[in-house]
Homo-oligomer: A and B are copies of this chain.
Amino acid sequence: MARKIVEIDLSGHGIRVEECPEDLRLLGGRGLTSTSIQRETDPLCHPLAPENLLVIAPGLLAGTGLSSANRLSAGAKSPLTGGIKEANSGGTAAFKLARLGIAALKFRGAAPRGRCLGLRVSREGCRLEDLGFLAGKGIYQTAEALRERFGARVGLIIAGPAGEMRMSTACLSVTDPEGEPCRNLGRGGLGAVAGAKGLKAVIIDDEGAEFRPHDPEATKALIRDFAARLKAHPVTGEKFPKYGTAMTLMNVNKLGGLPTRNFSAGSFEGAEGLSGDRLYETISSRGGQYAHGCMPGCVIRCSNKYVDPAGKAVVGSLDFETIGLLGANLGLGDLDQVAELNKLCNDIGVDTMETGAALGVLAEGGLFAFGDFPRVRDLIQEIGQGTPLGRLIGSGAAACGRAYGLDRVPTVKGQSMAAYDPRAIKGLGLTYALSPMGADHTAGNAITLAVDPTDPRVQLEAVRELHWKYTALDTLGICIFTGRVSLANPELIEQAVRVITGWAASWAELLELGKRILHRERDFNRRAGFTAAHDRLPGFMLREALPPNHEVFDVPQADLDSFYDFDREGQLD
């Protein structure tokens, strides 16, 4: 099936649909967003200017029931970092776009300020809709209204009030199989890029559409086989479904790497109350849902539906990074509180991680006391209200650090770290420092590596390889949580590519593709003004020993500087 690329010019110059050009034919997800941006976006443009390109692309393998292979990528020049950005999420959008034969939506230009538009995508084609009645509305209300207007089964991608206000930490929210808008394209401010264009939502109606894999029978067999293998593995088959991503929290805490009170400690006295065990007990005893799949076909089902003591829905999927940064990092040890904050952030449409990091910085700056839940809740509400303080918080941790005159700010390239302190888990320090995306754990989550996380000398090779692998997975649209099965048995990945697309790529070739995409991203950043000076952790992490294990970040600088010394020549095209 020939895939299509849809070009939408929001300045009023219409919509153009064309066949995916030959040189993009074997790209999806991150590979497609980053390649498009590297080729077409002026690296010196302002991220909120009309010339910034917003690309939304399902992973190359999306559209089938293959477990954990329906991830959606979005990319642009980031308002937060000023560099290239790809964020990916679960939800149903990628699956539905792929079924409609769409390889990418590319948004250019900008509607006149004040317009609030939706793009409806269906078998009938693509059409812009006036969504003025939803201007300024929260993401939950927007999702409900759009499902009411366009049908309960549409998939949605939504910018919240934060995006409309063009805040640097605004995310895009994607609906899950139940229609809850809670799977976030979280990082780097892609919601603000949408907001600057006047794009409130993408509505995807795949009614009547069908995805035809290259080899339907073999695909069916692979879907069964892959699901069985994931279910058979103790992590993907048992721990993830039961404890969700929070399963890692006590481990990170034990390693002394759980960001606590603005990264001033690596273990939190209230960690038990935030643990995967506690999450499971709480959800299961209250009649919430664990083992929830965020994407069609997923058997890992690390997602959940968190409920309050009365069993009433609070938020779709309370996850580790959110728990770490809105919990321990703010001195909060109560899952109910974190869930409420998560819901608020989701509704406003801001990245929970950046928000937690920003608030941690402000607490250190003296704006409020760590552990003051009502104040944290009020402050997050201010983001949605667009008060000056809310806008400062919505500008991210680096902006808050600047405003409060602090040099203890846990960011790289202007983006906050995830819920792993890189002094204790040093491989993540490499990932934070070197990812073209800024401090982004999903670029290469070294917590999964077999190497000693505290040994500064053994990280380079392993982390680098992880970046190649993850970039390949992000391009295919395969969830990185499959890694213990898929990366351990890359013939499964080869097989998936072959039966779904017909492309007989070896795993080595797919890794080469990952490398090439990383170099393209890196090239964009270089032209946007990034140098080795930006591939560094904040200075305080090099000199301030992190309790309780008194670690500093001591990976040799030479390792940082040589990270991209791989296959450099001829890798851009």
Contacts and interface: CB of A to CB of B under 8 A. Distances in A.
Contact of A165 (B49, B405, B529): B405
Contacts of A165: 404-405
Contact of A533 (B46, B51, B402, B527): B527
A232 interface: no
Nearest to A45: B539
A105 interface: no
Contacts of A461: none
At the interface, is chain A mostly helix, strand, loop or mixed? loop
Interface string A73-93: 000000100000000000000
Nearest to A525: B533
Interface string A21-55: 00000000000000000000001111111010000
Nearest to A535: B529
Interface centre among A44, A51, A405, A540 (most CB of B within 10 A): A405
A403 interface: yes
A531 interface: yes
B539 A46 contact: yes
Contact of A405 (B166, B389, B536): B166
Contact of A407 (B48, B389, B536): B48
A51 B426 CA distance: 24
Interface stretch (A118-126, A136-144, A390-398): A390-398
B403 A538 contact: no
A388 interface: yes
A511 B391 CA distance: 47
A528 interface: yes
A539 B392 contact: no
Contact of A388 (B196, B389, B533): B389
A388 B367 contact: yes
A167 interface: yes
Nearest to A162: B405
A201 to B, nearest CB: 18
Contacts of A532: 529
A154 interface: no
A46 B540 contact: yes
A168 interface: yes
A195 interface: yes
Contacts of A404: 165-166, 391
Contacts of A44: 533, 536, 539
A387 to B, nearest CB: 8
Nearest to A530: B529
A529 B395 CA distance: 22
B48 A406 contact: yes
Interface centre among A46, A168, A196, A394 (most CB of B within 10 A): A46
Nearest to A528: B533
A327 to B, nearest CB: 23
Nearest to A196: B405
A363 to B, nearest CB: 13
A534 B44 CA distance: 9
A47 B391 CA distance: 24
A499 interface: no
A192 interface: yes
B403 A391 contact: yes
A409 to B, nearest CB: 8
Contact of A195 (B43, B48, B405): B405
A419 interface: no
Contact of A46 (B168, B367, B538): B538
Contacts of A407: 46-49, 196
A49 B542 CA distance: 12
Contacts of A45: 539
A523 to B, nearest CB: 13
A170 to B, nearest CB: 9
A399 interface: yes
Contacts of A168: 402, 405
B540 A529 contact: no
A395 B403 contact: yes
Contacts of A391: 392, 403-404
Interface in A379-425: 388-389, 391-392, 394-395, 399, 402-407
Contact of A539 (B49, B79, B395, B527): B49
A286 to B, nearest CB: 37
19 contacts: A46-B540, A47-B407, A48-B407, A49-B407, A49-B539, A51-B539, A79-B402, A165-B405, A166-B405, A196-B405, A367-B388, A388-B403, A391-B392, A391-B404, A395-B399, A395-B403, A399-B403, A529-B530, A529-B534
Interface of A: 43-49, 51, 79, 165-168, 192, 195-196, 367, 388-389, 391-392, 394-395, 399, 402-407, 527-534, 536, 538-540
Q: Which 7 A-B pairs have the closest CB atoms?
A: A166-B405, A529-B533, A388-B389, A46-B407, A391-B403, A48-B407, A49-B407
Given A165-B404, A388-B388, 14 more contacts: A43-B533, A44-B536, A44-B539, A46-B407, A48-B405, A49-B539, A165-B405, A166-B404, A388-B389, A391-B404, A394-B403, A395-B399, A528-B533, A529-B530
